[in-house]
Structure 1
């Protein structure tokens, strides 16, 4: 598992018991999330935009006001924001859906998009150009990490390795640091995430039908079944 530990454990815990029993789970986060030491200027904002749970957690640590609605991408981000005390509304499963819904319903603005240092989609710029005023501010950084010693050793083995990849930046890092000879089975949460992985020597690359944890779990479930049938033995995840 290449995500930060808490997110990885949450994902694995929601896999079917039968799938978990057939794999050895190895946690090797290749991206570390840390809040930035910044002051968030949200006094004039009429609402927040969250496109990741990482941004919500960073906003919590920076004591951003809960007295405004939060417009979120995906159920995990929305649930995290609700749990933190915001009036959170899921307005799309993807950034594209969020943009379309905000432009359709036109909430009070200006809005403030709190995001990571590295972000895709140009959400604030595109919404502002379409007449909905949105500012953006990075509130967390994403520090790239190498594979752990354990993950590196498994990569050099001959057992099948199943790697779920959840973001384009993580995919680029994984493609850069994977040098193993183990049979590699990949699950990507989106086509954009899959793109950097095409350069790797893999057995199979499966793209989730939707960029959601539910569809990623389904993709991993299918990969485990295929890998066990093709390779035999125990798979690592």
Structure 2
């Protein structure tokens, strides 16, 4: 098996999320193959009238209507930023759903939790499903990478995506390095791997940092230095 091939990123979040993450690691060749598609779900809840909302994903913010200064308890910084842009009065957790519990307890208004059909953590507030995460097959390009020799780095951004990806990767020939956003996401991976890491915090910046610390990342670090020192 080749050992000097450039390691590649296989990014499987929805397209816009994957493109944003790829931009955080410009030195890494990347292939994007979303394994989930976000689709709205019809619901009866009048979220525009809710006094306060709990967002555990940025995908839910757009279903709640304009913020108008309403309270929004957000799981982390990315979701909080999206909610602020929508006009909500944001309180942020540390990226883990458990960090929302004291904020929920201290809320001065009733709360509703709009969320996806597949929910990793049930919170003690009324919830409503506003979108579905539809599983998608990997692209032909992604499957060709799994069947090849170059090492792959596979970020795992949720337990469900980890399970879906493991099912695709069990017959892979390529050495796979997994980087998980949480211990729960890593535990959901039940295929072989050449190595793994868990991000120091459950956010994209910490995921990118963990990828750069992988032993397999040395090749791309060297490539970046060579490109910087190359004559014009």
| TM-score bin (small chain) | 0.7 to 0.9
Provide the rounded CA distance (Å) in 1 between the counterparts of 2:153 and 2:33: 12
Distance 1:45 1:181, change over 3 A: same
Distance 1:85 1:230, change over 3 A: closer
Provide the rounded CA distance (Å) in 1 between the counterparts of 2:209 and 2:71: 32
Which residue matches 2:21? Answer: 11
Whether the 8 Å contact between 2:67 and 2:89 is mirrored in structure 1 is no
Provide the rounded CA distance (Å) in 2 between the counterparts of 1:33 and 1:119: 13
Which residue matches 2:173? Answer: 181
Distance 1:84 1:64, change over 3 A: closer
Whether the 8 Å contact between 1:110 and 1:135 is mirrored in structure 2 is no
Q: TM-score, normalised by structure 1?
A: 0.82
* Alignment gaps of 5+ in structure 2: 1-10, 224-232
1:47 aligns with 2:59: no
Say which of 32, 37, 41 aligns to 1:36: 41
Distance 1:228 1:95, change over 3 A: closer
State the Cα deviation string for residues 167-189 of structure 1 (Å, max 9, x = none): 00100101112131101011000
Whether the 8 Å contact between 1:72 and 1:92 is mirrored in structure 2 is no
Which residue matches 1:204? Answer: 195
Provide the rounded CA distance (Å) in 1 between the counterparts of 2:69 and 2:218: 53
State the Cα deviation string for residues 10-54 of structure 1 (Å, max 9, x = none): 112123xxxx23x32100110111111224323763200001111
1:156 aligns with 2:166: no
Provide the rounded CA distance (Å) in 1 between the counterparts of 2:195 and 2:61: 34
Aligned residue pairs total 212
For residue 26 of structure 1, give the secondary structure of its aligned residue in structure 2: strand
Distance 1:202 1:65, change over 3 A: same
CA RMSD of aligned residues (A): 2.3
Distance 1:91 1:210, change over 3 A: closer
Superposition pairs of residues 15-164 of structure 1, within 5 angstroms: 15=25, 20-21=26-27, 23-42=28-47, 45-59=50-64, 63=65, 66-103=68-105, 106-124=106-124, 134-164=125-155
Moved over 4 A (4+): 228-231
Whether the 8 Å contact between 1:44 and 1:110 is mirrored in structure 2 is no
Which residue matches 1:130? Answer: none
Whether the 8 Å contact between 1:186 and 1:202 is mirrored in structure 2 is yes
